[in-house]
């Protein structure tokens, strides 16, 4: 069923079953790669909160979890301006940091986080994103773990918002074209 948020209509797009499979795939891949060290998962707020929750419940090795909060997206278009709101407070010396994003589109947010990480003496970083819009992504940072590649449609649900609304939806909806 379509839903209306603010002044826009959204239609069902990706089911919770498909999301769950994509999350499990990412969890399995990361689990295989990090059995012998303790990675720090760095969730990017607000959008990645649901992905982080489901992903990390399926990650069965030792890990630490922290969050960073930037602002990058206003309404339905990316501004390209990214401001840090909650910073990195932990000691990242010699740590493997796995950045956890809900979605990578232009990659502006990811690029900003990577530049913040590079101010710390980390061992390495990896990037995990539930969704990737490959036709819009224009940065060279590898996205090491991707749940699902999607076209350049505006989506919401499962943590993703339209102007603050829709993050609580269990499924992904996409903006309905007139
Ligand atoms: N929806 C919501 N937030 C976003 C999107 C999107 O499609 N892309 C980047 N941030
Ligand atoms: Mg948003």
Q: Can 161 be counted among the known catalytic residues?
A: no
The string of pLDDT tens digits covering residues 4-47 is 999 999 999 999 999 999 999 999 999 999 988 999 999 999 99
Q: Is the CB of 117 under 6 A from ligand 1?
A: no
Protein residue whose Cα sits closest to atom 7 of ligand 1: 154
The string of pLDDT tens digits covering residues 92-134 is 999 999 999 999 999 999 998 999 899 899 999 999 999 999 9
Protein residue whose Cα sits closest to atom 8 of ligand 1: 105
Q: What pLDDT does 113 receive?
A: 92
Q: What pLDDT does 86 receive?
A: 76
Q: Which of 2, 33, 105, 144 is catalytic?
A: 105
**What is the residue-wise DSSP string for 45-72?**
ETTTHHHHHHHHHT--S--EEEEEEEEE
Beta bridge partners, 9, equal 4
Q: Which atom of ligand 1 is nearest to the CA of 154?
A: 7
Q: Which CATH number among 3.40.50.2020, 3.40.50.720, 3.40.50.1980, 3.40.50.1820 corresponds to the domain 19-70+83-153?
A: 3.40.50.2020
Nearest to 146 by CA among 30, 8, 9: 30
Q: What pLDDT does 77 receive?
A: 47
Q: Is the CB of 73 under 6 A from ligand 1?
A: yes
The string of pLDDT tens digits covering residues 40-73 is 999 999 999 999 999 999 999 999 999 999 865 4
Q: What pLDDT does 74 receive?
A: 46
Torsion of CA 59, 65, 69, 75, to 10 degrees: 20
Q: What pLDDT does 75 receive?
A: 41
For residues 146 and 77, the model is more confident at: 146
Q: Which ligand minimizes its atom distance to the CA of 74? A: 2
Residue 94, φ and ψ in degrees, nearest 5: 65, 25
Q: Is the CB of 22 under 6 A from ligand 1?
A: no
Q: What pLDDT does 13 receive?
A: 98
Q: What pLDDT does 154 receive?
A: 97
Domain boundaries, the chain: 19-70+83-153
**Average pLDDT for the chain:** 92
Q: What pLDDT does 33 receive?
A: 95
Q: What pLDDT does 20 receive?
A: 98
């Amino acid at each position: 069923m379509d839903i209306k948020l603010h002044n826009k209509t959204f239609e069902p797009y990706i089911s919770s079953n498909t999301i769950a499979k994509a999350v499990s795939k990412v969890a399995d891949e990361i689990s295989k790669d990090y059995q012998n060290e303790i990675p720090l998962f760095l969730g990017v707020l607000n959008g990645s909160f649901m992905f982080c929750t489901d992903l990390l419940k399926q990650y069965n090795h030792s890990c630490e979890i922290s969050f960073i909060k930037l602002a990058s997206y206003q309404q339905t278009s990316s501004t390209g301006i990214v401001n840090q709101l909650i910073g990195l407070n932990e000691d990242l010396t010699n740590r493997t940091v796995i950045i956890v994003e809900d979605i990578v589109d232009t990659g502006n947010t990811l690029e900003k986080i990577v530049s913040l990480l590079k101010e710390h003496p980390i061992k390495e970083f990896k990037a995990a994103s539930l969704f990737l819009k490959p036709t819009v992504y224009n940065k060279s940072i590898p996205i090491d773990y991707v749940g699902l590649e999607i076209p350049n449609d505006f989506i919401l649900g499962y943590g993703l918002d339209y102007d603050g609304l829709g993050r609580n939806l269990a499924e992904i909806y996409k903006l309905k074209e007139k």
